[in-house]
């Protein structure tokens, strides 16, 4: 049989012009979600615009490298070799902020580095134990990720200093409202992939509108270089406080749960089912993002659901298309001047865009839970308790202030609290037989035997990861 005829669509290479256009399309769709993470973390950590610009460039660089690894693979060790685009995950934002407040930036990147190596070590066993992270667990955690970040978006809109003269001023609220209106109108009337970049266009339009309102400051752009690369460990030698390391390792497990759903979804869309070995290589690449992120002042990456949706829309499943997207991201990460431009975006504009993105993450989690049998009392208990525990530190500020500072790193993050609670309760209800109790049911969504191909398909379609 002719090689061109027998080649799987995943391994096909479209003509150069189409390859470039499709790669750019992937970058446009994921760009906003990718750069929002360093913008939000940098603002919460009190970094200046030049430091935030550095984070943005490092973020794009690492996202591009990991996307290349996932698309093309490295031997039999790293990369799932599917059309996958990765970017910074929101799951790590709150724990990173808490770690920075308690221990400083060196601990943020030290704990991330340790979590990256942890991810590399557990990728294979996690791929074999995916049944312990069913849609019941992943849906609950993803929902909490989105809800826990709404407050961060609100802080960007109003300003984080209640004593400031412009705190929650009419101009800030009007600008944020205008950005939200633009996103809604664009989503209503735009079609195709153009409708999927509405948030990116809203950032541009909102920034232009902020200029006459005196809410912009691009003074740092002119002094930035066109080409450059931040030195590894820019903030100093990494530090490894045990509590911070544990918190970031929990985040890595959350990332694995997110990415697993998306990888399975892409495998189905591409007609190339994902084996345990494939999944392990893909998860190892997530672990690599932690190592690279910790060394290069970046963030841990996950598979972006926006790009999974784009594959379903275009039906283009070539992994070389996403490899081109990875190359573009690397190129963007080597342009410090671009990082300064993005870092100077007004807080109300970024906050309004973040509000939409975080709410979207929440809806992805809710959509995941829709496929779970919540009429079953055990499943309802797991989801309810985990959701409640996860939201406690978000709605009751200072509730754990009486705890030791090291304990607050874990309990103070709704994401880690929800992840630990959901995982533990799922083990208790669905994988443990207590003396005198009935055996765990095997026919519930979220029960022990959902590892078969059909169960994987259901879990992947509705979860499809979060940004």
Distance CA 166, CA 158 (A): 8
* pLDDT tens-digit map of 438-466: 555 544 444 434 343 333 334 444 444 44
Please give the full DSSP string across 84-128, using - where no structure is assigned: --EEE-GGGHHHHHHHHHHH-HHHHHHHHHHHHHHHHHHHHHHHH
**Do the beta carbons of residue 330 and residue 61 sit within 8 Å?**
yes
**Do the beta carbons of residue 283 and residue 119 sit within 8 Å?**
yes
Distance CA 444, CA 448 (A): 8
Cβ neighbours, 10 Å, residue 192: 9
Please give the full DSSP string across 332-378, using - where no structure is assigned: HHT-HHHHHHHHTS-HHHHHHHHHHHHHHHHHHHHHHHHTS-TTSHH
Contacts of 335 (CB under 8 A, 6+ apart): 57, 226, 227, 228
DSSP at 439: P
What is the distance of C-alpha 358 from the center of its chain?
A: 10
| Per-residue confidence (pLDDT) for residue 6, from 0 to 100 | 67
Of the candidates 260, 255, 273, 251, which has an alpha carbon nearest to the alpha carbon of residue 134? Answer: 260
Length of the chain measured in residues: 467
Cα distances (angstroms) measured from residue 247 to each of 59, 93, 100, 148, 290: 21, 12, 12, 16, 13
Distance CA 445, CA 450 (A): 7
* pLDDT tens-digit map of 26-64: 786 677 778 888 888 888 888 887 888 889 889 999 999
Which structure tokens are listed for 44? 């919460």
Contacts of 454 (CB under 8 A, 6+ apart): none
What is the distance of C-alpha 4 from the center of its chain?
A: 36
Distance CA 186, CA 190 (A): 5
Q: Which residues of 242-265 are buried (b: 16+ CB within 10 A; e: fewer)?
A: ebbbbbbbbbbbbbbbbbbbbbbb
Distance CA 301, CA 358 (A): 16
Which helix (H) or strand (E) element contains residue 423? helix 414-430
Angle at 211 between CA 210 and CA 217, to 5 degrees: 100
Q: Which residues of 398-413 are buried (b: 16+ CB within 10 A; e: fewer)?
A: eebeeeeeeebbbbbb
| Per-residue confidence (pLDDT) for residue 435, from 0 to 100 | 64
Cα distances (angstroms) measured from residue 330 to each of 63, 67, 197, 219, 324: 8, 10, 20, 25, 10
Distance CA 2, CA 245 (A): 52
Dihedral class, residue 398 (left if φ above 0, else alpha if ψ from -120 to 50, else beta): left
Whole-prediction pTM: 0.72
DSSP at 304: -
Distance CA 57, CA 180 (A): 26
Cβ neighbours, 10 Å, residue 460: 24
pLDDT tens for the chain, 467 residues long, are 454 456 787 778 878 877 887 787 678 667 777 888 888 888 888 888 788 888 988 999 999 999 999 999 898 889 889 888 898 887 788 889 889 988 999 999 999 999 999 999 999 998 888 778 788 887 888 788 778 778 777 877 887 677 777 777 888 888 889 888 988 888 788 776 566 567 777 878 888 888 887 777 766 666 667 777 778 888 889 999 998 998 899 889 888 887 887 787 788 777 888 888 889 999 999 999 999 999 999 999 988 766 666 666 567 788 898 999 899 889 888 887 776 676 677 878 878 877 887 787 788 788 888 888 888 889 999 999 999 998 888 788 778 877 776 677 677 777 778 888 888 899 888 887 766 555 555 444 444 343 433 333 344 444 444 44
Distance CA 195, CA 183 (A): 9
């Amino acid at each position: 049989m002719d090689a061109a005829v027998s080649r799987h669509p995943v391994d096909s290479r479209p003509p150069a012009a189409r390859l470039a256009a499709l790669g750019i399309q992937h970058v446009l769709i994921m760009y906003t979600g990718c750069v929002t993470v360093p913008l939000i973390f940098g603002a919460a950590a009190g970094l200046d615009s030049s430091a935030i610009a550095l984070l943005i460039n490092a973020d794009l660089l690492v996202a591009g490298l990991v996307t290349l690894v996932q698309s093309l693979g490295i031997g039999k060790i790293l990369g799932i070799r599917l059309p996958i685009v990765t970017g910074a995950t929101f799951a790590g934002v709150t724990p990173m902020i808490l770690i920075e407040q308690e221990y400083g930036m060196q601990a943020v990147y030290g704990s991330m580095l340790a979590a990256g190596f942890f991810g590399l070590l557990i990728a294979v066993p996690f791929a074999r134990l995916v049944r312990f992270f069913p849609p019941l667990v992943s849906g609950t955690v993803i929902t909490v990720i989105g809800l826990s970040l709404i407050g961060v978006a609100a802080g960007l809109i109003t300003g984080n200093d209640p004593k400031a003269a412009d705190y929650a001023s009419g101009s800030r609220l009007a600008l944020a409202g205008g950005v939200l209106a633009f996103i809604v109108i664009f989503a209503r009337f735009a079609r195709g992939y153009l409708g999927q970049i509405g948030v990116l266009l809203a950032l541009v339009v909102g920034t232009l509108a902020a200029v006459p309102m005196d809410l912009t400051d691009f003074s740092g752009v002119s002094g930035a270089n066109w080409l450059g690369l931040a030195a590894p460990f820019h903030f100093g030698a990494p530090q490894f406080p045990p509590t911070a390391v544990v918190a970031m390792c929990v985040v890595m497990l959350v990332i694995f749960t997110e990415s697993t759903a998306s990888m399975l979804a892409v495998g189905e869309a591409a007609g190339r089912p994902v084996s345990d070995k494939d999944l392990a290589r893909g998860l190892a690449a997530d672990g690599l993002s932690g190592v690279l992120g910790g060394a290069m002042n970046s963030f841990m990456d996950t598979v972006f659901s926006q790009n999974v949706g784009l594959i379903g829309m275009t039906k283009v499943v070539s992994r070389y298309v996403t490899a081109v997207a990875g190359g573009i991201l690397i190129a963007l990460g080597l342009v410090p001047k671009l990082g300064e431009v993005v870092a100077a975006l007004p807080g109300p504009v970024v906050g309004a865009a973040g509000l939409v993105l975080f709410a979207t993450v929440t809806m992805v989690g809710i959509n995941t839970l829709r496929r779970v049998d919540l009429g079953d009392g055990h499943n309802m208990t797991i989801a309810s308790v985990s959701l409640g525990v996860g939201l406690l530190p978000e709605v009751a500020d200072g509730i754990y202030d009486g705890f030791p500072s090291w304990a607050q790193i874990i309990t103070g993050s709704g994401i880690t609290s929800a992840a630990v609670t959901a995982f533990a309760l799922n083990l208790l209800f669905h994988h443990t037989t207590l003396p005198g109790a009935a055996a765990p049911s095997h026919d519930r969504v979220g029960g022990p035997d959902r590892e078969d191909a059909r169960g994987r398909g259901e879990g992947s379609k509705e979860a499809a990861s979060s940004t």
